[in-house]
Structure 1
């Protein structure tokens, strides 16, 4: 039991040191972001464009689960007081590789993971997620204009502690988008 633990720890430390010399990660681009009103409430429809660098692909192949978090914030500007934060929501998608089944698993929140045979197929679910319910119907004031801000980033908080230390110092583990902002009139 303890020998297995030390082997696991040694493998993680080797991965940390191997990734320390890595090149900078490319950014995530928000290619589409819109809020849509449905019967259930307000849904976020997004599309992202990004590629995993070699170090992140290698990390997944070595059994490290990566998490991508999408954040949305909707505020209503007010001239007489602070802006009202109407919606602040996050959703995290995890991607991992199962060596035994040779499949990539993608799980959204606490849902049952979906399996894919290739990394590109698994990443397509992260790049083009299903419309996400961000607020119930009636949460926004009808006819009011809201400032919407959307971003996605690789969430390093889900990594094990040794990898978190490496991720802070290594730019190849920093994969994030700029905030995409737009106005939305509540229906």
Structure 2
């Protein structure tokens, strides 16, 4: 190898490491802090605390009228030794975060529920707390079985306007999302 090709390889490796570090840093801004499942008489509900740090680029985009869609994904699987894990329940919850310049308020929507807030921080605080979200029917779960629950939050970049999607490719500030948090959920036997 010549000196120039060695320098090129080192430069490429350094660039790759820097890009990975930036991407990891962007993902570190959002994390699932705490999540727990509770079994009621007819359902299994999820409560969670999520740490969300919105990068400056996303704050500016919302302030300029670009709606942001965040997707909370949940899955409950049953491990199988002979095949892939069986997905027992999978749910998603979509948040739409927007800003209305006329009223100078941020709006957070999930389904038919719409809430208005004076600041972005207030809207993000509501999005970061989840309480008693029904994620599975209790009848679908076998007593005495330990399941694996998984939860993550991510920015749905596919729902951004097309010109922003093109500019967001590979940009760490547009890669907001958490890693999957996975934990065991033992389904207790019913008391007799």
**How far is 1:118 from its partner?**
1.1
**How far is 1:150 from its partner?**
1.0
**How far is 1:130 from its partner?**
3.0
CA RMSD between the two structures: 1.6
Of residues 54-63 and 77-86 in structure 1, the stretch that sits farther from structure 2 once superposed is: 77-86
Give secondary structure in 2 for the equivalent of 1:130.
Answer: strand
**CA distance in 2: counterparts of 1:60 and 1:112, whole angstroms:** 19
- Of 77, 86, 89, the residue aligned with 1:75 is 77
Alignment of 1:168-187 (within 5 A): 168-187=169-188
1:158 equivalent in structure 2: 159
Q: Name stretches of at least 5 consecutive residues in structure 1 with no aligned partner.
A: 1-22
1:53 equivalent in structure 2: 55
Using a 3 Å threshold, how does the CA distance of structure 1 residues 102 and 40 change in structure 2: closer, same or farther? Answer: farther
1:99 equivalent in structure 2: 101
**CA distance in 2: counterparts of 1:55 and 1:49, whole angstroms:** 18
Alignment of 1:11-160 (within 5 A): 25=26, 26-108=28-110, 110-160=111-161
**CA distance in 2: counterparts of 1:75 and 1:130, whole angstroms:** 21
For residues 111-148 of structure 1, the C-alpha deviation after alignment (integer angstroms, 9 at most, x for no partner) is: 23101111111111111123211112212112210011
Highest CA radius of gyration, 1 or 2? 2
**CA distance in 2: counterparts of 1:40 and 1:57, whole angstroms:** 40
Give secondary structure in 1 for the equivalent of 2:166.
Answer: helix
Of residues 143-152 and 127-136 in structure 1, the stretch that sits farther from structure 2 once superposed is: 127-136
TM normalised by structure 1 equals: 0.82
Of residues 37-46 and 143-152 in structure 1, the stretch that sits farther from structure 2 once superposed is: 37-46
**CA distance in 2: counterparts of 1:27 and 1:121, whole angstroms:** 17
Number of corresponding residues: 164
| Segments ≥4 residues shifted beyond 6 Å | none
TM normalised by structure 2 equals: 0.80
**How far is 1:160 from its partner?**
1.3
